[in-house]
Structure 1
Amino acid sequence: MLSPKEYKASTDAELIQHYKVSGALDILGELYNRYMSLTYGVCLKYLKDREESRDAVMQIFEKLVNSLKEHDVAHFKSWLYVTARNHCLMQLRARKGKNFEEISPFLMEDSPAVHLEDEPDLEANLSQLEKCIGTLAAEQKQCVELFYLQQKCYKDIGDLTGYDANKVKSYIQNGKRNLKLCMEQHG
C-alpha cells in the first residue's frame, strides 16, 4: 500500500497499476486531483455550461472506478481526454434528441386552435405530475424538486441536503423512475 506522498511521486501508469491490484479509491483520488481541471475544461468546451460540466466531471470519474479495471491504459491523460469528450458528446446527443421531441410537435402546427385543444391535457398531466411527486419518498421528492424544478446541480443539492453526490444521483434516478411509473399508472 502506498502512502499519499508516494502517490504524488508515482506516474499515472504506476498509479493505475496499483489501483488494478488494490482497488484503493484513494489512488483514483490522486488521479482525480491531477486531471480534474483538464476534464472540467473538456466538458466546458463541449457542454458550454458550468454546472453541467461539473456534474459531467463527477460522472466521468465515477465511471473510472470500473473503466480502469477493464481497460489497459498506456497514456492516461490522452485516454481521459477522449473519455471525457465522448461522455460530453453522448450528453449532447441525448439533449438534442430530447429537445427535438419536446419542440417538434409545435413546429408542425402553428394554429392557435390546435394548441388550445391540447391545453386541458397539459393541465391534467401537470396536475397528475404534482400528485405523483407527492407520492415519492421524502429524499427522492426533495432531490427531484431541487434538480428539475429549481435546476440545482448534484453538488448544490448535496450541500443543501447533506447527501453525498452518489446518494443525490440515486435519489434523482429512482424518483424519476417512480414518477414515470406513477404517471403511466394514472395517465
Structure 2
Amino acid sequence: MFFKRFRRQPNRPRPTTDAEFVAAYKATGNLDLLGELYERHIDLVYAVCYKYLRDEDDSKDAVMQLFEQLVTDLRRHEVTNFKSWLHSVARNYCLMHLRSQRVRVGAGMDTDLPDEDRLDQLSIAEWPDDDDALDLERALSRLPDALERLPEPQRICIDLFYLKQKSYADVADLTGYDFKQVKSYLQNGRRNLKLILQK
C-alpha cells in the first residue's frame, strides 16, 4: 500500500463514494481523504503508467508523482467523474514525460520491437503538441456524443484502443484492418474528436 501513513480523523463522517471524497477533500484540504481516495484507484493509475512507460520502477515513480500533482490539481478542477478524470491525468502525465524525452524516443526507436510496439512509440512521438490544452474534465462528459459523430472506422478504433485499452494488434484482429489502417484511423479520429470537443 502506497499510503499507509494516511489515517481518517476520528468523529468525522466517512465519505463512501468518489464524489463524496472529492467534495470532502476540496472542502478541507485533508490529505488523509485524498490518500484514501487515491488508494481506491491506485491499481488503475499504475496500469495506465505501465502501459505508456513500459518500466516498473518508472511507473511506480509516476504513481507517487501523480499523487503529489493531485494535491493541487483536484482542488483547482471541477471533477464530476473522478475515475475517468484520473485516467486522463495519468495518461497525460505519461505522455508529457515521454514527450520530454522525444528526441530519444523518436530518433532512438527500437526497430527490433514487434510492429505494435513500434507503432505505440510512433504514436507517442507524433502526439499533437496542443493535446493538453483540451479541458479534459468538460470534454469527458461530451465524449459519447462526440464519438458518435466520427466515421465508423475511426469510432471503432478509438473505442477499442483508448476506451477498451486494446493494443494495435488487438484492434487489427478485431476489426480486420491492417496496422497502417488502424494507425491512420486513430490519428484521424483523435484529430476529429479534438475538433468536435473544442467547438
Given the two structures, how large is their TM-score scaled by the length of structure 2?
0.46
Q: Which structure has the greater CA radius of gyration?
A: 1
User: Higher helix proportion, which one?
Assistant: 1
